[in-house]
Structure 1
Amino acid sequence: MSTPTVEARLTTPFGFDSTAADVIAGVDLSGKTAIVTGASSGIGVETARALAGAGAAVTLAVRDADATEPLAEEIRHSTGNDAVSVSTLDLSRPDSVVAFATAWTGPLHILVNNAGVMAVQHLTRTEGGHELQFATNHLGHFALAIGLYDALRQAGGARIVSVSSAGHLRSPVVFDDIDYAFREYDPFGAYGQSKTANVLFAVEASRRWAGDGITANALMPGGIATALQRHLPLGYNDEAREQFRQAGSRFKSVEQGAATSVLLAASPLLDGVGGRYFENCNEAVVVESRDGGIGGVAPYALDPENAERLWDVSLAML
């Protein structure tokens, strides 16, 4: 593992309590296009709402388009922006990703890779034979970005937002056994591995595509009670709240949880910035161990050699 390049830590006027509306205030996205995956619930909805409220044409990329259409209509009504559409996308199915990317026309200015699954309790594999969390959280979004590369390049200054998690501190990408063919399956370890992959993708995408004006950053949205926890036992959120309290933090509202995503997607403070990991609307500090903490970014998640290796491995897995 090589040492990540040390750059000045980027800070902003925003913080833990900032909302998506706060960070996008005064930003005009008229004439720009955006895709938000997993925008049928949770922070995906508020991310899409904020971008639409700033004038962007927003596509909600979701597994069930029909069920999400009423939500899209509500966003149109609340923002006064009719350019809010819904398209079907199942990130665990490569054919669905290809179909979505192929159908896209014109430039794409903002891609928010927000959808995800968390802590699936039993080892589950996709039709392609890959562990479900890694396949959905990383591989699907990786394939989506690759498929939309030309559209991102055409935008001139496109941004990719990779929604990761402090869960990445639970595990690096275990390249020798990504799909749990040999080691015992661990729901949170698998989730952590996929979230580390989200950060590494941002690092390598920024390196490879910088010449095309494309930047990518990753983030931890915070602790938020959403449908993401649907695979977890009853009482998990109460336990998580207590863990956050002991660490000197607390859960966020959905509007606060979407703030860092929206900051990375739209704020002029992030112009030209790529390959970094943010939390609470500021770049996170690098930590050398978990020590029971819930903040910071692991060195292995920013390591350029890991990032390049993951890119090559992901292409092979697809």
Structure 2
Amino acid sequence: MDLNSLESVRNFAKTYTGPVDVLVNNAATLGSGELRRTGDGFEECLQVNYLSGFLLTSLLLDRVEQSAAGRIVHVSAKAHEWANISVQAMVSEKVLGPDFVSRQGMMGNLGGSYADSKLAQILFSAALTRRLKPSAVSMSLHPAITQTELLRDVKDSAMVKFLQEQVLQRIGRVVGFMQTKEDAPKTQVHVATHPALQKAGGRYYSPIYPPLVGCGKAAEDCAVSEVSDAALDVSLQEDLFKVGRTFGDFVYNDNLFQWESRSSYTGRARPTPKTSLTSRLTRFLTSQFHSSIFAHLDLGTAPIETLQDRKFHKAITKMPRLEDVVFPQHGWAGQAERTKFLSALPPGASAWGRGRP
């Protein structure tokens, strides 16, 4: 799977048919600090470190929730504290932080788009936590700092690279903030597998606050770390989640629409009544922005009432990029209603029925 390509992520999700008990979004690039775009047009760190993981998680979410103890782990970084995310920039410029080039330092892009992508992972984990079924949890973490190839794209002088690779790393091991390659993966393994953490959804763990176990508290309370104020911003969590959902595929899930509304008093997200899900999905897909983006719609679990709605029919008729749609095979008011839905699809779009009576 190539995280530089959303199509590659989509193909992996289609071809992998096995169960998903644990999904760890770990792959990352530090980036060069310059504005490099993927074939999909997104800034490199945005897509590789965050958006492809967002898409993969969305496509595999049903299987994670079907697991007896599903778990999603986002490997973020302490660098998220240096991030400066703009949701508007993600929509209009396909970058997370429009000023990331100016935030370069001794460690290259560590405080630039890399930091932005790591904050995005924590925000995603928090938004996802509010939507997951009780059988599944989502958590994020700061991995141990160790010698990897993450700095391979840093364009520094030979002296700076020597300081990074030799002096800083050796000092780091002595004072404890760097670990050996053998010890470094322990945080990811702990967060991904320890049974007690199944009740720790939404938390952020870090080996900077050792130990992972045996800290004198319950296992799920060991190595819990604080995050930046931006990572705790519920409005930012929800806004970024909604924007991320508009790129690539759209896979309907009731839980995705449970936290859309805002309290006029606090400004915080609050649950959406079940009766509002149909109208909310219709408004989402009929907006001019969303209707022009999607090429693939998985509506296999969408409310039949929505799929029988005439406004919804008008919306999908005007989707220029729509290539295929998955829809529920059963539950229609009648054959005529099902036919109206299929007739509303743009010319050339494929339709696939799902489900048993």
Please classify the TM superposition score into its range, dividing by the shorter chain length.
Answer: 0.5 to 0.7
Distance 2:182 2:233 in 1: 31
User: Residue 126 of structure 2 corresponds to which residue in structure 1?
Assistant: 203
Alpha-carbon contact 1:110-1:265 (below 8 Å) kept: yes
SS in 1 for 2:131: helix
User: Residue 34 of structure 2 corresponds to which residue in structure 1?
Assistant: 122
Closer, same or farther in 2 for the Cα pair 1:98/1:120, shift >3 Å? same
- Number of aligned pairs? 218
Distance 1:238 1:194 in 2: 27
Residue pairs, 1:160-309, within 5 angstroms: 160-178=72-90, 179=95, 183=99, 185=101, 186=103, 187-188=109-110, 189-209=112-132, 211-232=133-154, 233=156, 234-235=161-162, 236-238=164-166, 240-241=168-169, 244=172, 248-280=175-207, 281=212, 282-286=222-226, 297-309=227-239
SS in 2 for 1:162: strand
Larger RCO: Structure 1 or Structure 2 (Cα < 8 Å, ≥ 6 residues apart)? 1
- Give the CA deviation at 1:245: 7.4
Cα deviation, 1:262-289, whole Å, max 9, x if unaligned, reads 1111101202211111001344443xxx
- Give the CA deviation at 1:180: 6.8
Percent of pairs with identical residues: 29
Worse overlay, 111-120 or 303-312: 303-312
TM-score, structure 2 as length reference: 0.56
Alpha-carbon contact 2:143-2:188 (below 8 Å) kept: yes
Distance 2:200 2:97 in 1: 37
Cα deviation, 1:84-114, whole Å, max 9, x if unaligned, reads xxxxx11120110001111121321011111
Alpha-carbon contact 1:172-1:301 (below 8 Å) kept: no
SS in 2 for 1:91: coil
Residue pairs, 1:80-99, within 5 angstroms: 89-99=1-11
Distance 1:255 1:303 in 2: 35
Closer, same or farther in 2 for the Cα pair 1:168/1:107, shift >3 Å? same
Indicate yes or no: 2:239 matched with 1:316: no
- Give the CA deviation at 1:260: 1.0
In structure 2, stretches of 5+ residues that fail to align are 104-108, 213-221, 249-357
Alpha-carbon contact 2:77-2:143 (below 8 Å) kept: yes
Residue pairs, 1:7-18, within 5 angstroms: none
Distance 1:250 1:306 in 2: 30
Distance 1:156 1:175 in 2: 35
Closer, same or farther in 2 for the Cα pair 1:220/1:285, shift >3 Å? closer
Closer, same or farther in 2 for the Cα pair 1:267/1:226, shift >3 Å? same
- What RMSD over aligned residues (CA atoms) do the two structures have, in Å? 2.3
- Give the CA deviation at 1:212: 4.9
Closer, same or farther in 2 for the Cα pair 1:172/1:253, shift >3 Å? same
Cα deviation, 1:207-232, whole Å, max 9, x if unaligned, reads 111x2522111111121111222112
Alpha-carbon contact 1:300-1:306 (below 8 Å) kept: yes
When Rg is computed on C-alpha atoms for both structures, the one with the higher figure is: 2
Distance 1:184 1:147 in 2: 29
